[in-house]
Amino acid sequence: MNAALVTVGDELLSGDTENTNATWLGRQLTERGVTVKRMLTVPDETAVIADAVGRYSDAFDAVIVTGGLGGTPDDITIESVAKAFGRGLIENELARADVEKHLESVAEKYPELNVDVAAEARIPEGARPLLNRAGMSPGCVLENVYVLPGIPTEMKRMFEDVADEFEGDVTARTLYTEEPEANLIERLDEVRDRFGVQVGCYPDREAGHNRLKIRDSDGAVLDEAEAWLTEQIVLVEV
């Protein structure tokens, strides 16, 4: 299984907000054996969001979109995803009930809160609602596109509800060495050519070591590649 991530928000592009969602989701998907092929950040513009979602939906097994849910003028992700598939927006009863439940829970703290419940509960026609158990604005699943909130706590909680829908067969092994990165190139090229595995080298200057990561869908091949590297490179425990 492969996937693409689309994070939405002018604040991400300007650097006002750190894009922790992409990093977190990339790690979660990789740990589940999913190959993340793309990470894209787009502005709060309907045409741009719709174009990215449409292209990635055709190209990859799954697309996760985060950000742009809610009732402010720049929260246009739901309608943009609907546009990508040529769908209209409809009020979803399950989503409406969940929004109303959330409003009841915060009514005492925010007595003057004015929310357009019908607008909050709209999702693309034919989409499956994803309830927001850590906030108010619902997400949804439309075909192979998963729309999640941009607020990290809400996004992570909603992802938990769909995490089992992301399963791949790629696994990884991680090794550590203090040998200089430049000295490793020839042996990393050879392990890739010998066993057909994906190989990455990630220097950690502060820790004083390099992290080597080998990935493949065949556990036996990974065993062989790891054993070969262990004989070729001086490893350290971390």
Q: Report the pLDDT value the prediction gives residue 55, as an integer from 0 to 100.
A: 97
Q: Report the pLDDT value the prediction gives residue 177, as an integer from 0 to 100.
A: 95
The CATH class of 2-165 is: alpha beta
State the pLDDT confidence band at 124, using cuts at 50, 70 and 90. very high
Check: CATH 3.30.1370 for 171-232?
yes
Alpha-helical (H) ranges within the chain are 10-13, 20-31, 46-59, 77-84, 93-106, 117-120, 152-162, 181-195, 219-232
Q: Report the pLDDT value the prediction gives residue 214, as an integer from 0 to 100.
A: 94
Is residue 111's pLDDT more than 80? no
Least confident residue range of 106-120, 125-139, 160-174, 206-220:
106-120
Mean pLDDT along residues 60-74: 92
Query: Tokens 């546009």, residue?
Result: 83
Query: CATH 3.30.1370 spans which residues of the chain?
Result: 171-232
Mean pLDDT along residues 141-170: 95
Is residue 117's pLDDT more than 90? no
Least confident residue range of 7-11, 68-72, 121-125:
68-72
What's the rounded Cα separation, in Å, for the pair 54 and 48? 10
Q: Which two structure tokens, joined as six digits, stand for 29?
A: 């998907």
State the pLDDT confidence band at 169, using cuts at 50, 70 and 90. confident
Of the segments 70-74, 95-99, 169-173, which one has the largest average pLDDT value?
95-99
Is residue 88's pLDDT more than 90? yes
> Are 14 and 145 a contacting pair, CB within 8 Å?
no
State the pLDDT confidence band at 71, using cuts at 50, 70 and 90. confident
Q: Report the pLDDT value the prediction gives residue 142, as an integer from 0 to 100.
A: 96
Q: Report the pLDDT value the prediction gives residue 21, as an integer from 0 to 100.
A: 98
> Are 159 and 65 a contacting pair, CB within 8 Å?
no
Query: CATH 3.40.980.10 spans which residues of the chain?
Result: 2-165
Higher-confidence position of 46 and 74: 46
* pTM for the predicted model, two decimal places: 0.84
What's the rounded Cα separation, in Å, for the pair 188 and 181? 10
